[in-house]
Amino acid sequence: MTKRVTVRRIGNSLGVILGKAELQAMGVGEGDKLVIIRGPDSISLTPFDDTFDRQMDAADGLMRRYRNTLRELSK
């Protein structure tokens, strides 16, 4: 389903207002945290998941630690 939203000024920032149906579809409400995922041509909003966040931090640490090894393996 496609729905248009308008970018608006919120204080000193810009933002969009998500409707009740979109918030219910994501299972979030006021005060909940969302994660922004950037793709090549888009962004996605997903509910924050503490377990997933810890896993991504661990993966990031491993990728930094083994950066040279992973670079060689990608060749």
- What is the arithmetic mean of pLDDT over 11-36? 93
Task: Find how far residue 61's CA is from the centre of its chain.
Answer: 19
**What is the tally of structural domains in the chain?**
1
Q: What is the pLDDT, as a whole number, of residue 53?
A: 80
CA–CA distance, 36 with 11 (Å, rounded to integer) = 20
51 in any annotated domain: yes
CA angle at 59 for the pair 53 and 63, rounded to the nearest 5°? 145
Q: Mean pLDDT, to the nearest integer, of 28-43?
A: 92
pLDDT at position 72 = 92
For residue 22, pLDDT over 80 is answered with yes
pTM score above 0.75 = no
Nearest to 16 by CA among 4, 2, 26: 4
What does the alpha-carbon distance between residue 70 and residue 63 come to, in Å, rounded to a whole number? Answer: 7
Domain of residue 57 covers 8-73
26 lies in a domain? yes
Model confidence over 41-53: pLDDT tens digits?
999 999 988 888 8
Residue 3 within any structural domain of the chain: no
Q: What is the pLDDT of residue 75?
A: 87
